A and B are shown apart, each in its own frame.
Chain A
Amino acid sequence: MRTLFNKVLVEAARKDRRIFLVLADIGYGEVEPFMEAFPDRFYNVGVAEQNMAGVACGLALEGNIPVMYTINNFVFVRCLEQIRNDICYHQANVKIVIVGGGLHYGALGMSHHSREDIAVMRSLPHMVLVSPCDKAEAEQAVYAMLEHQGPFCFRCGRKGEPDVHKGPIQFRFGKAIRVREGRDLTFLFTGTIGSEVVAAADVLERDGVRCRVVSVHTVKPIDQEAIVAAAEETGGIVTVEEHNLNGGFGSAVAEVLCDAGVRPKRFLRLGLPDRYDSLVGGHRWLLDQYGLTAPKIAESARRLLG
């Protein structure tokens, strides 16, 4: 997904001279086409994330569209105060790209995982957050990001994500996409965990359980209508996210339901637990440890349905 992201960004930057790319020394092997095509709009500030965010803010306040791009937590934890005070408070038109959102950088360890970003970003006023599940969504999300006026967080995958959507999609910022239809249960997911969710729905279908699967690519502002419809029209809701359960996507869904006074027949949140582990392994292996691979998601859903 990050390769596609960079390809689309270069195409967009060819047409729009306001687009800048601002890095903190991460992006090797991915950002070179931008660097070569637009050397005067490409800035690697060095390993200095606070300055990256401040410089991006200064560029944005002068009418440019800077894209801050680096791995996971480096782009939003180290420089959170700059994102809060400088970017969000001034509603600066800065784009924040979290590369590898979730556990994509598996065996690199805890320092390189991003499992708090949804909670943090959605608590920031004026920030919006899009977390595409596959290349089809990601391509459209890049354009949505560049069209949006104001702070925008793009939770990007890493590489080799399977396609969730089998054909062309109607991508609209803030509107969830129904991936498949079913009445027994709804899976609401965000991000690249989507392929596991779709595979889980396949497993359940073989047992005669038909699930609605919805990609909630825009986590903020969230599609309230799609969430309420899932509660009212199907046998329950399972949220799936590659993120901490505390304050994340499932929490956002629960907030919508409580605020709307709608109680789903069943409700379950799947995600990462409230502890830091020291498990060593690749992305998919880690997902499996946390019950986030297709067979385990299907098993959790079966237990919920009783």
Chain B
Amino acid sequence: MSDTASDWKVECRRLANRIRAHCLRMTHHGKGGHVGSMLSMAEILAVLYTRILRVDPRNPRWPERDRFILSKGHGGGAVYAVLAERGFFPMEWLDTYYKDGGKLMGHINHKVPGVEFSTGSLGHGLPVAVGMALSAKVRGEKHRVFCLMSDGDVDEGSTYEAIMFAAQKKLDNLIAIFDYNKIQAMGHTRDVLDLEPLTPRLEACRWAVREIDGHDVEAIDNALQNVPIAAGKPSWITAHTVKGKGVSFMENTVSCHYGYVDREHLEKALKEVESAP
């Protein structure tokens, strides 16, 4: 492998770590929650925004852009972080997260440059992504539509309505990415509402499915560079992730869904993510 080829992986991992650091600071200073949900998708966002999505920070509404919908709107802080890193808006905006009169509200918001769609109630992202993908098909447009979802999203009935319809219309320009960190608001997903066996269920619904390690930037890149997984089928990429990833005392804990990061824990957490490879 050439140096150039491995450089991007290093860069992606560094970007993921910076996303984590931003999220820890933002939620600490804003006294917000949901940091665990942000930490689990840092690598996915890093790869999407540097390797996959055709987007232009100087022209966020460029008509030919790929559409990206974050259905797990509570993790919006991580998308704000990657958008700031990519130059969609000034880095200082991150300091206003959750603040009175600030630029960035807790759940992802479409008034922020680079954000396609506002969510916050789960189960809303995929149906809208399906509508966008359908429009692109009818109008012969070549952009793709990506939708990033959480464990809780996959509980929602509306998500299954959209799953069935997307397959019915053979929307192979639609890519669902499932940040499967296996913890939802009140407990472990297997205890609350077990999603398994998920892959056979999705395949039975006529989606093409791949499972990857959602913290391995090479695996994420490989999966997302090779969509659609199958012609004529929507693609579903289950990214197995760890809630609270990168901070040892948060990883795989239910409490990091809502929990606030106090000053003492912030410093420890930052040390870990900033020294990570």
Contacts and interface: CB of A to CB of B under 8 A. Distances in A.
Nearest to A41: B138
Given A50-B157, A51-B158, A61-B132, A82 B138 contact: no
18 contacts: A45-B161, A51-B162, A54-B126, A54-B131, A54-B158, A55-B162, A56-B131, A57-B128, A57-B131, A58-B129, A58-B134, A58-B135, A59-B134, A61-B128, A62-B132, A64-B135, A85-B119, A90-B118
Interface in A32-61: 40-41, 43, 45-46, 48, 50-51, 53-61
A89 interface: yes
Contact of A51 (B110, B121, B165): B165
A51 B169 CA distance: 13
Interface in B133-186: 133-136, 138-139, 157-158, 161-162, 164-165, 168-169
A53 B127 contact: yes
A299 interface: no
Interface string A82-100: 1001100110000000000
A45 B165 contact: yes
B228 interface: no
A9 to B, nearest CB: 18
B106 interface: no
A81 interface: yes
A31 B216 CA distance: 50
Interface string B106-127: 0000100000011111011011
A90 B117 contact: yes
A50 B128 contact: no
A46 B166 CA distance: 12
A90 B119 CA distance: 10
Interface residues of A, number: 27
B117 A55 contact: no
A61 B131 contact: yes
A25 to B, nearest CB: 12
Given A45-B161, A82-B158, A58 B127 contact: yes
Contacts of A54: 124, 126-128, 130-131, 158, 162
Nearest to A84: B121
Nearest to A56: B131
Interface string B20-46: 000000000000000000000000000
Contacts of B129: 58
A24 B162 CA distance: 12
Contacts of A56: 131
B121 A81 contact: yes
Contacts of B157: 50
Contacts of A82: 124, 127, 158
Contacts of B165: 45-46, 48, 51, 55
B161 A48 contact: yes
A111 B168 CA distance: 29
Nearest to A54: B127
A188 to B, nearest CB: 37
A89 B128 contact: no
Pick from A40, A54, A56, A63 the residue with the most CB of B within 10 Å: A54
Given A55-B131, A55-B134, A57-B131, A86 B124 contact: yes
Contact of B128 (A41, A43, A81, A86): A86
B161 A61 contact: no
Contacts of B168: 46
Contacts of A48: 158, 161, 164-165
Interface string B97-113: 00000000000001000
